[in-house]
């Protein structure tokens, strides 16, 4: 208690029963390791394999970078708190956590929308695809996603951290998520919560509009295709993206758009755990396991690194 500053917060965490805390810790740690490994492998493969030097994979590498930063923002602190008696986070640490998770989640919102546009151009305008999605355009799309996300972080973080907090400093959550932090405020935050709600709705509506329009046009184009192989390829590349979009936007919709009457601390923790811990692991697995190019690049790297291949090379 003496080591706790008056401005520090205490994170209650997941409130797991002590009997199963070891099992929960092992599961979360395993997910964390798999997520980090899968995203780093995805970034590495996209960099080293020339067949993956396309706009779709460039945007996918940006998604993997975002997922890596995203999971590192919350999970290491959660794991430390699970084995520690003091679950303290400093005022500055809380602010950094809020800024990073807002930036990453906002950047992913925009990036997933732009990835849908990329699929639209690839399926509906294949001949103009190299022109419309040239390197400059890809860099602009990626930069726009990062800028949009960081704008959200720079806008909402200072306001949240400047709200007066008095009385209890205990956050009923496993990280500094804004709705959980604002419950400790000793001032009226209704105006700020309304502004945050409008901001989040807009950030969801813009990408969802792009995604809905893109996939409506893709469906029309696929319906007109005579080639069964063409339909299958278009469906395969788009279904992976739609799976990721549904998971990520569904969790975000619950957290930031549904009225407070639908929320309880327990539900909020489960949904937050899903989109901050599980989703960063699922994204690279969904894209890699269902993608022949990525699996082919992985096999190529593994063959190069295998002892048999090295022996054959040295014998030659």
Using CA of residue 202, residue 73, residue 62, residue 137, what is the dihedral sign? positive
Q: What is the pLDDT of residue 222?
A: 81
**Nearest by Cα to 108 from 214, 207, 20, 250:** 207
- The answer to whether 192 touches 159, Cβ cutoff 8 Å, is yes
Domains and CATH numbers, the chain: 9-298 (1.20.1070.10)
- The answer to whether 189 touches 163, Cβ cutoff 8 Å, is yes
Categorize the per-residue pLDDT at 314 as very low, low, confident or very high, splitting at 50, 70 and 90.
low
239 or 92: which carries more pLDDT confidence? Answer: 92
Question: Which residue's entry shows tokens 């500055």?
Answer: 92
Rounded Cα–Cα distance for residues 16 and 22 (Å): 10
Residues 269-287: tens digit of each pLDDT? 888 888 889 889 988 888 7
Q: What is the pLDDT of residue 2?
A: 43
Residues 216-241: tens digit of each pLDDT? 888 888 877 777 776 776 777 677 77
**Nearest by Cα to 14 from 2, 27, 30, 1:** 27
Rounded Cα–Cα distance for residues 41 and 295 (Å): 11
- Exposure string of 251-276, with b = 16+ CB inside 10 Å and e = fewer, is bbebbbeeeeeeeeeeebbebbbbbb
Lowest-confidence range among 92-96, 141-145, 182-186, 248-252? 248-252
Rounded Cα–Cα distance for residues 247 and 270 (Å): 14
> Is the pLDDT at 265 greater than 80, yes or no?
no
Which structure tokens are listed for 240?
């992976």
- Most confident listed range (133-137, 198-202, 232-236): 133-137
Give mean pLDDT, residues 246-250.
81
- Exposure string of 213-242, with b = 16+ CB inside 10 Å and e = fewer, is ebbeebeebbeeeeeeeeeebbeebbebbb
Residues 150-176: tens digit of each pLDDT? 998 999 999 999 999 887 889 999 999
Residues 59-80: tens digit of each pLDDT? 999 999 999 999 999 999 999 9
> Is the pLDDT at 136 greater than 50, yes or no?
yes
> Is the pLDDT at 5 greater than 60, yes or no?
no
pTM exceeds 0.85 for this model:
yes
Using CB atoms within 10 A of its CB, is residue 71 exposed (0-12), middle (13-18) or buried (19+)? buried
């Amino acid at each position: 208690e003496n080591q706790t500053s008056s401005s520090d917060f205490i994170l209650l965490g997941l409130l797991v029963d002590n009997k199963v805390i070891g099992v929960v810790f092992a599961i979360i740690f395993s997910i964390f390791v798999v997520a980090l490994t899968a995203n780093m492998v995805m970034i590495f493969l996209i960099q080293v394999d020339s067949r993956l030097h396309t706009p779709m994979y460039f945007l996918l590498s940006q998604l993997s970078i975002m997922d890596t930063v995203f999971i590192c923002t919350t999970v290491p602190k959660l794991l430390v708190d699970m084995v520690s008696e003091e679950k303290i986070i400093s005022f500055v640490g809380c602010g950094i956590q809020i800024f990073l998770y807002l930036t990453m989640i906002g950047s992913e919102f925009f990036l997933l929308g732009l990835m849908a546009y990329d699929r639209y151009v690839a399926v509906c305008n294949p001949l103009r695809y190299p022109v419309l999605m040239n390197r400059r355009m890809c860099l602009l799309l990626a930069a726009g996603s990062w800028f949009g996300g960081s704008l959200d972080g720079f806008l909402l973080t200072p306001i949240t951290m400047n709200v007066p907090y008095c009385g209890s400093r205990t956050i009923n959550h496993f990280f500094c998520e804004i709705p959980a932090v604002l419950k400790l405020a000793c001032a009226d935050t209704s105006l700020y919560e309304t502004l945050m709600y409008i901001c989040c709705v807009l950030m969801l509506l813009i990408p969802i509009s792009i995604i809905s329009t893109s996939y409506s046009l893709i469906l029309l184009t696929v319906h007109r295709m005579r080639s069964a192989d063409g339909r299958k390829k278009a469906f395969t590349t788009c279904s992976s993206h739609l799976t990721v979009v549904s998971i990520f936007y569904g969790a975000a919709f619950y957290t930031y758009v549904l009225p407070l009457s639908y929320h309880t601390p327990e539900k909020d923790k489960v949904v937050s755990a899903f989109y901050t811990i599980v989703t960063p692991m699922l994204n690279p697995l969904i894209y890699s396991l269902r993608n022949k190019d990525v699996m082919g690049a992985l096999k190529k790297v593994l063959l190069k690194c295998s002892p048999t291949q090295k022996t054959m090379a040295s014998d030659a």
